[in-house]
Amino acid sequence: MFQKYFKTTLSIAFILFYVLETQAQKQQDRPKIVVGIVVDQMRWDYLYRYQDRYSEGGFKRLLRQGFTCENTHIPYSQTATGPGHTCVFTGSIPSVHGIVENDWYDRSIDKKVNCVEDPDATGVGGPREGARRSPKQLLTTTIGDEMKLANNKNSKVVGISIKDRGAIIPAGHMADGAYWYDKRTGKFVTSSYYMEHLPDWVEAFNDRELADYFLTKKWEPLFPIETYHQSTEDDKDYEGTMIGKKSPTFPYDFSTTDKDYGSLRSAIYGNTLVFEMGKAAIEGENLGSSGFTDLLTLSFSATDAMGHRVGPNAIEIEDMYLRLDRELAEFFQFLDEKYGENGYLFFLTADHGASQSPGYLLENDLPGGAFELTFLDEIDQMGKQKFGIDKTILTMVNAEVYLNWEEIKSRNINEDQLMDQIIQILNRHEGFVDAWPKKDLASAPWPDIIKNRFINGHHHYRSGDIAVIIRPGWKTSIKGADHGLWYPFDAHIPLVWMGWNVSPGYTNRYIEMSDIAPTIAAMLKIQMPSGSVGTPIQELTD
């Protein structure tokens, strides 16, 4: 009898242990939270360029403990903030998701529109007329949307950035909130698309008045300025200035800006604001505590604003990344303490890279230069003289020309002849490699890899009519740096994963930015976003 009782008890204990163990394993089937970071304008080589001064806990930890996809590229031509963030979180391309640029020309209303513009939305937390923003221009779902769809909206999704588009697009249509920095007030704001009032935790964060505090500070280099050997000397005439200074030199005293909250968007403090707001979101929304995987997206825009101003070889950029590295290390510590090292899935990437400053290239006898937009007037003059068109070009958005089809068609002219004349003018321009009608991209005499990127970037209703390939190292000024081209300095981006179910390693296999969202979907075992064209990264999913 005792033996029978003992066996029964043992069996029950074994079953109970098995059930508990199975439940524990099921809990590990998903991470508590996915944290996706986009560093705006981060070139791939920044992962390694400043390694001699990176801390052990930031970028070095990512590369040591994580899995890095060393050969990740943007699969379309318009390497800009809006399309980049969209591709990362949708796995799609502009021809499908519709975010062809930060702005494009909307023929239906005869004006340029912003990629997150929404006239039906109003601002929340700031001036009501100042933030008419939402994800309505986005034509597909995001990975955050799919996470919510997979579990009856139990996952929470929050997006944070200095830029509105850097917060809204990654968060997606169904987000619990997207918050960005208002340069007029120094507060984080949102849109009536998401809510009517800021949550208490956002109000509490704004009440800390961090922006006001940073406007009492100076930005000085972490190390003696003469030791920044990865950068050019501090004062270069091809670097832009900021906060009213006559030269682009340290220190930068923000206390002299008379409450210029916008100046923080280009400074190290812009990154700090995003990190602190990210921590506040985790605590305020209790992210990762519900038993369902949540998503937090953080986009760091100060790196882009400063990069445009001074270019990749400035001490300001080196110092900004050294400081970003230290803040990243602190953020990893925060996540470790909150979730455990294997309780969160983390990835870091960029929306695009950046060219060298044309001034720097010319200084070093490398190809580069600056061009003027005089060809636009030349095309209009040609249209008047040869075809009787009052205004041939409506506008040019980055490297795309929009033609005035309403007038062109009303005059019954030979459209092919007109297009040939326009192409001839564009091809005479010293800053351009080639130009081609967007409707005929498939027949462009370009290498397939280039042609396909322009095709991927073309949306029938939102794109321009002529694609222009600008020469590498050329832009409209020799000062600062830019992006927007298919070249490796713009399209080769970092992509590093760490944390839940990620084994250390690397691959030099060709991977595309559009592979990120379907990889997350495969790891979470949910549907990939509705417009996804990417492929899961098998080194992470198999």
Catalytic positions, written as ranges: 81
- Report CA-CA distances (Å) from 92 to 82, 95, 97, 218, 467: 13, 8, 6, 41, 21
The 3-state DSSP class for residue 21 equals helix
Contact 58, 66 (CB under 8 A): no
- Return d(Cα 60, Cα 49) in angstroms, integer: 12
- State the residue for tokens 């300025």: 225
- Return d(Cα 177, Cα 156) in angstroms, integer: 9
Q: What is the CA radius of gyration of the chain?
A: 25
The residues, ordered by sequence, that sit 6+ positions from 13 with a Cβ below 8 Å of its Cβ are none
CA 322 to chain centre: 20
- State the residue for tokens 């903030």: 81
Please name which of 13, 67, 22, 120 lies closest in space to residue 498, comparing C-alpha atoms: 67
Please name which of 34, 12, 96 lies closest in space to residue 523, comparing C-alpha atoms: 34
DSSP tally for the chain: helices H, then strands E: 20, 23
Q: Edge-to-edge strand order for the sheet containing 400-403?
A: 393-397, 400-403, 466-470, 432-437
- Return d(Cα 82, Cα 114) in angstroms, integer: 9
Q: Which three-class secondary structure string do you get for 120-143? A: CCCEECCCHHHCCECCCCCCCCCH
Name the strand (E) or helix (H) holding 535: none
Bridge partners, 347 (sequence order): 36, 497
- Return d(Cα 27, Cα 45) in angstroms, integer: 37
Please name which of 100, 182, 183 lies closest in space to residue 138, comparing C-alpha atoms: 100
Which DSSP category does 117 fall into? B
Q: Which residues of 42-77 are buried (b: 16+ CB within 10 A; e: fewer)?
A: bbbebbebbeebbeebbbebbbebbbbbbebbbbbb
User: For the chain, what's the residue count?
Assistant: 542
Helices 302-310 and 268-284 cross at an angle (nearest 10°) of: 170
